[in-house]
Structure 1
Amino acid sequence: MELKVFTLRTCPNCPAQKRIAQKVAKDFNIKYMEIDIGTPEGRIEGLMHQVISTPSIAISGEVIARGRLVPKRELEDEVKKRLGK
């Protein structure tokens, strides 16, 4: 399982979302990836997930939020659901 956070350098909520996602990924021992959609590679990855706003989050390829800050509890619940917990 992997947790991807789509970010942009100018995104005001991205630093907080990155901190939350990193903590959740560490707590559940899952892979964490940060994708900057401001880079050519990140833009391609974002388009593959239909992400055009930040912060956005995908868990194992499924986008669970676009353009909003996902609270820690909600993100934990989404991970637990996919882990069958």
Structure 2
Amino acid sequence: MSADKPKPAGVKIVDAAKKELMNVSAIERDGNFLVVKGKIFGTMPMTAKLSPEEARKALRMLSPGLVWFLLTFPFRRSPEPPAR
């Protein structure tokens, strides 16, 4: 009997009002493409492919400060909502 691993919860991307824009369910490789699978607005399935050329363009957008922020991002806490 094989034990199936539970699927990890999706990664939610939200807007400024904290409403869900996208739920990323998988990040995979397809040859030399990075494939992002998920749902937009909770209902519309989406598969996006990122080519190596486009990834290099994205890397040019990063400043040294933003690179540092991205390296430390997983270890940061989300800000607390303001008290009413």
Q: Which has the higher contact order (CA 8 A, sep 6+)?
A: 1
Structure with the higher fraction of residues in helix conformation:
1
Structure with larger Rg: 2
Which interval holds the TM-score relative to the shorter structure?
under 0.3
Instruction: Compare the two structures and name the one with the higher strand fraction.
Output: 2
